[in-house]
Homo-oligomer: A and B are copies of this chain.
């Protein structure tokens, strides 16, 4: 694929939302839906929806709309949810444990295989039948096991050194919860969840009115 055919991140970030809404329609036994009806539910314009989906193929039919099950399947495939992923968590603090306990990720094909922490009080404890290992074992674990996605939940100051180990062992996907921007080669994909930044965006918007009235 050339760089030019890459889909914009704005479109990509809307895909999981389509997937979620179509999943809800399926659960409600709705077989087909017009782009207008889908638009009313999801809150994007009908033309936006058609444009987004056109990036990936020719879905829907004039006068019929979308076959919900078919479109849900197609978007699942586009999102890579038809595949299986071995995941590991590094950092079994609050957020690491919360993510580890999210068993619903399994149904999308994300299988938690190992958890690492450096705290001796946590090492040996089991979360969902997975024993927390000493982070010193991380390198050798990666030598001996196929890992698709590593989830970084360590404090900010340790995140880059963990990322360096992951990259050196060939990990290409990192889900990063540490509040820092990791430096990695171009072929490694990082998806950040910066909770503090999300909370600050909320406080900004709560204060926005005052800001410009002062």
Contact = CB atoms under 8 A, between A and B. Distances in A.
Interface of A: 1, 5-7, 12-13, 15-17, 19-20, 43, 56, 78-81, 83, 85, 94-95, 97-99, 101-102, 104-105, 108-110, 148-149, 172-173, 175, 179-181, 189, 191, 193-209, 211-213
Contact of A207 (B83, B99, B101, B202): B83
Given A43-B181, A191-B205, A195-B102, A200 B15 contact: yes
State the copy count for this chain.
2
B102 A203 contact: no
A191 B196 contact: no
A208 B6 CA distance: 8
Nearest to A24: B180
